[in-house]
C-alpha cells in the first residue's frame, strides 16, 4: 500500500535510491525534473564539440567552388550552428537556458574521405555547463550541410558528433583522448 501523501512517497523512494553519484540527476521519484542549480556558484564554462558530413567527391568540389544552388554551404552551416546553440534549451528537454557569451562554428574540407568537418564551441559564465550548446551547434551545422547539398547528393552521412572538451564547473575539465577515428 502506497502512502497517500506524495511528499512521504518521495522521502521513502529517496531513502531507497542509490547514492547520489550513481543516480541520474534529471530524474526523481516523480519522474523527469529540471536540476536545481541555485546553490551552485557561477564559473566560466567552455565546451567544444565536433561532427562530420561525408559526401561524394563531386559534392565536395561543388561546395569548395561555392557552386551549390542554395548558396554558400559553409556560411549557412556556420549561421545555423550559432543560432541553434542559442536555442538549445528550447530543443533539449530539461536543459537550462544559458546566457552564452560566445559561440563559434568552423567548417573544414577534407579530401580523404571527402567530407566537411565541423567544430563548434560555446562559452558562458553560469551555473551549468555548455556541452549541450556546443553539441547542438555541431549537429545543426551538420544537418544544414546535408540540407544545402541534398539536391546533388542524397548519400551523405552525418557522423561522429561528439564532445571534444569542456572546462569549468564542479566536475572539472574533460578532454577527449585521441583514438583511432577521432578528429
Peptide bond into 71 cis (omega under 30): no
Short-list 127, 128, 123, CA closest to 101: 123
| In the block, residue with C-alpha cell 547542438 | 136
> What is the pLDDT at residue 25?
67
CA torsion, ordered 23, 28, 29, 33, to nearest 10 deg? -160
Q: Does 170 score more than 50 pLDDT?
A: yes
Residues with catalytic function: 147
pLDDT tens digits along 97-152: 999 999 999 999 999 999 999 999 999 999 999 999 999 999 999 999 999 999 99
Q: Is the pLDDT of residue 178 over 90?
A: no
pTM: 0.82
Looking at the DSSP bridge assignments, the partners of residue 51 are: 118
Query: What mean pLDDT is reported for the chain?
Result: 87
Rounded Cα gap, residues 5 and 100, in angstroms: 41
For the 43-170 domain, the top CATH level (class) is: alpha beta
β-partners of residue 91 are: none
* 2 has pLDDT over 50: no
Sequence-distant (≥ 6) Cβ neighbours of residue 165 within 8 angstroms: 46, 47, 48, 173, 174, 175, 176
What is the biggest distance separating any 2 CA atoms in the chain, rounded to whole angstroms?
Answer: 70
pLDDT of 6 reads 46
CA distance 67 to 177: 37
The residues spanned by each domain of the chain are 43-170
Q: What is residue 8's predicted lDDT score, i.e. its pLDDT? A: 52
The per-residue pLDDT for 183 is 45
Q: Using H for helix, E for strand and C for coil, what is the string for the chain?
A: CCCCCHHHHHHHHHHHCCCHHHCCCCEECCEECCCCCCCCCCEEEEEEEEEEEECCHHHHHHHHCCCCCCCCHHHHHHHHHHHHHHCHHHHCCCCCCCCEEEEEEEEEEEECCEEEEEEEEEEEEECCCCHHHHHHHHHHHHHHHHHHHCCCCCCCEEEEEEEEEEECCCCCCEECCCCCCCC
Amino acid at each position: 500500500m502506497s502512502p497517500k501523501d506524495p511528499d512521504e512517497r518521495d522521502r521513502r523512494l529517496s531513502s531507497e535510491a542509490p547514492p547520489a553519484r550513481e543516480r541520474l540527476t534529471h530524474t526523481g521519484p516523480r519522474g523527469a525534473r529540471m536540476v536545481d542549480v541555485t546553490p551552485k556558484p557561477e564559473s566560466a564554462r567552455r565546451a567544444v564539440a565536433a561532427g562530420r558530413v561525408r559526401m561524394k567527391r563531386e559534392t565536395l568540389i561543388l561546395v569548395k567552388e561555392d557552386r551549390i544552388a542554395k548558396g554558400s554551404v559553409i556560411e549557412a552551416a556556420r549561421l545555423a550552428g550559432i543560432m541553434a546553440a542559442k536555442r538549445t534549451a528550447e530543443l533539449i528537454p530539461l536543459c537550462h537556458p544559458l546566457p552564452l557569451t560566445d559561440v563559434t562554428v568552423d567548417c573544414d574540407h577534407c579530401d580523404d574521405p571527402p567530407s566537411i568537418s565541423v567544430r563548434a564551441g560555446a562559452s558562458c559564465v553560469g551555473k551549468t555547463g555548455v556541452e549541450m550548446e556546443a553539441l547542438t551547434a555541431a549537429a545543426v551545422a551538420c544537418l544544414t550541410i546535408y540540407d544545402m547539398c541534398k539536391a546533388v547528393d542524397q548519400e551523405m552521412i552525418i557522423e561522429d558528433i561528439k564532445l571534444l572538451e569542456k572546462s569549468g564547473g564542479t566536475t572539472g575539465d574533460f578532454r577527449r583522448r585521441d583514438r583511432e577515428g577521432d578528429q
